[in-house]
Amino acid sequence: MSLESIKYQRGNLEILDQLLLPLQTRYIKVLGVEDGWKVINKMQVRGAPAIAIVGCLSLAVELLKDDSSDKKIMRQEIEGKLNYLVSARPTAVNIKLAAEELINLANTLSADETVSADNFKERFISFIENMLVKDIEDNKAIGNFGCEAILKSLEGDSQIRVLTHCNTGSLATAGFGTALGVIRSLNKSKRLEHVYCTETRPYNQGARLTAYELVHEKIPATLIVDSMVAALMHVRKINAVIVGADRVAANGDTANKIGTYQIAIVAKYHNVPFYVAAPLTSIDMSLKSGDRIKIEERPDKEMTHIGEFRIAAPGINCWNPSFDVTPASLITGIITEKGVFAPDKLHEVMNK
């Protein structure tokens, strides 16, 4: 059974505080948009799909308590609050696209004279709730398409080993996962021999979260430090690298957790296929290339401390970008809920 990072019933939203994992399991109540912004910004919830879902659900919770009878005022407040939520983590595109879709919906409902204020609210909240269901369905489709593509590329029916970076499972989505969803599907196929997961410094999402999920689901796995990837590929046969994405540009350049780019370079050198698993909501066709993706920079303390304990020399300068951009030329395929595509073919699926 997958871990539940988001608990939602109409009017009530709780998220699993991922800063406390794996040592503590505690859920935090999200009472509205301000709480939603805080848990996203502080990375108590993280992963591009989960950020979008939690942000939008925080608005649904707040809107349910709104007794306004003026559709125009509701529409204005919705737009302002969605734009505020987008500012919490600027690199992940999913919440930006979700916000644009919801703002368009609010504009349409506001302009329709046959829609009452109560009906406006009901239809708007229901739309957000359906996003939660759709995310899980899309994740499972990504898992199946990715599993099929990876197995098809191999000869015979031998067991395979894969490498993943950061956390892309149930904790990063509404459920099941993207890259980790592919790994789940491989495991279900009985073809998965072993998973190697990186610790993912400086926030250790791999050591704290991915390792936690793999152990929870009894998937055979080994944790390695980030600087060990080249050595691993030299001494072990790795059949594929599977990572997630926070934003994919129109040409296939992909922003993902810092360290992804160097793993792609090492994979290319060792002839290991490199896959990106991401829903279509992570693809930003308005950006021609990854050069235009805004990279979030995080506080120095995430590098200099583990918890409250300082591990770096006092006074040292730090540079802490949360993401890097992997060029499309290093990516074998992008796994989506509609299938697996070469980076230069994304326009075909997005235009359908």
Query: What is the C-alpha to C-alpha distance for residues 264 and 277, in angstroms, rounded to an integer?
Result: 14
The two beta strands, 309-310 and 305-306, are antiparallel
Residue of 140, 141, 94 whose CA lies nearest to 255: 94
Query: What is the C-alpha to C-alpha distance for residues 174 and 283, in angstroms, rounded to an integer?
Result: 18
Reduce the DSSP state of residue 288 to 3 states and report it: coil
Per-residue DSSP letters for 191-255? -EEEEEEE--TTTTHIIIIIHHHHHHTT--EEEE-GGGHHHHHHHS---EEEE--SEEETTS-EE
The CA R_g of the chain, rounded to the nearest whole Å, is 20
Question: What residues pair up with 243 in beta bridges, in sequence order?
Answer: 276
* Burial grade of 277 (CB within 10 A; 0-12, 13-18, 19 or more): buried
Q: Report in angstroms the alpha-carbon separations of 300 from 202, 305, 306, 312.
A: 10, 9, 11, 10
Q: Is the dihedral of CA 178, 223, 200, 158 positive or negative?
A: negative
Of these residues, 17, 135, 226, 246, which one is catalytic? 246
Per-residue DSSP letters for 58-94? HHHHHHHT-----HHHHHHHHHHHHHHHHTTSSS--H
Residue of 167, 255, 146, 261 whose CA lies nearest to 211: 167
Query: What is the C-alpha to C-alpha distance for residues 129 and 207, in angstroms, rounded to an integer?
Result: 31
Q: Is 246 a catalytic residue?
A: yes
Catalytic residue numbers?
246
